[in-house]
Structure 1
Amino acid sequence: MPLPHDPLAPAINTAHKWLRAVTDDLGTYDRNFAHRALRAWLHTVRDSVGAGTAARLAAQLPELFRGAFYEGWVPDEVPHPHTVESFLTQFAGEAGVSADEAAALLGAVTEALSRLFSTGQLDRLLAELPAPLRRLLTAELLSSTVATGTDKQGSR
């Protein structure tokens, strides 16, 4: 007798694809580390933009990451005014890394997500952030991909 179809399998598969993209860009096989970095990116960025932008961003996420995105969110307290230092501190604390490591990790996670979000999503998100935070998130590496929308898969 065949096993019944797991109704959560598609959501789990999509989450694994996204996590694999992050592990690849971080250059690690440590999925727990990649998950912490992705979750920290989502929370730190979420807290830095308005509720509407955060909701549009969440709509692009796989179901399993959408739950992590909203965990602990207080919409009435956003956007939180971040300096580069406070942004790095929040990210580093949630990712479990040093502030020195945080900047490189932010850029790598952004790079991975730039290929996963639909075309223009990251542009709209970054446009809402102050220029120093945009530079931090992109590590000045995404200028061609974000500006032109190339290499976007638009998958979820």
Structure 2
Amino acid sequence: MVETGFSSFDTMVDKANGLLKEIEEAFGWPKDRRKQSYAALRAVLHPLRDRLTVDESAQFGAQLPTLIRGIYYDGWRPAETPVKMDKEGFLTRVRQEFPYSIEGDTEQLVRTVAGVVKGHVSDGEWADVKAGMPTSLAAVLP
């Protein structure tokens, strides 16, 4: 547990670390790969956010844990969304944003990270996210 001296901040940091730990466990990575789990989360969240409409991006982001929400919104340009991406374009962008080697393939990275994120939002919101994707891309999401 992180001790910031402010219990609300401690809780936010613990939730973010918990989500990153879930990603590491899903991949079978040791804890010393925290930078890698962070990079994987960021690489999946940003193209997902940019593919959604502004309203759907905001609804989805509102359900993310607070610090993860900051990662999600970092660098967002709502006036430039949604960005039209099919499955291949989405996977290419994820790969470009993930600076580490991938065990498996980019699609598996997306499935794993999205599966963890899915556990932190409501089922209805996740259904809305998938509904906002082209069929080929929605099939990659759990």
- TM > 0.5 between the two? yes
Identify if the C-alpha distance between structure 1 residues 110 and 75 changes in structure 2 by more than 3 Å, giving closer, same or farther: same
Which runs of 5 or more residues in structure 1 are unaligned?
139-156
Q: TM-score, normalised by structure 1?
A: 0.79
Larger Rg: 1
| Residues 86-143 of structure 1: per-residue CA shift (max 9 Å, x gap) | 11111111112568721110011111122221232211110111100111233xxxxx
Pairing partner for 1:49 from 39, 49, 52: 52
Q: Which residue number corresponds to residue 113 of structure 1?
A: 117
> What root-mean-square deviation, in Å, do the aligned CA atoms of Structure 1 and Structure 2 show?
2.0
Matches of 2:17 and 2:41, distance apart in 1? 12
Listed as ranges, the matches of 1:40-119 within 5 Å are: 40-97=43-100, 101-119=105-123
1:66: how far off? 1.1
Count the aligned residue pairs.
136
CA distance in 2, matches of 1:83, 1:4: 42
After the TM superposition, which parts of structure 1 deviate over 3 Å for at least 4 consecutive aligned residues? 97-100
Instruction: Give, in whole Å, the separation in 2 of the partners of 1:112 and 1:4.
Output: 26
Q: Residue type matched to 1:27 in 2? A: G
Percent sequence identity is 29
Query: Which runs of no fewer than 5 residues in structure 2 stay unpaired?
Result: none
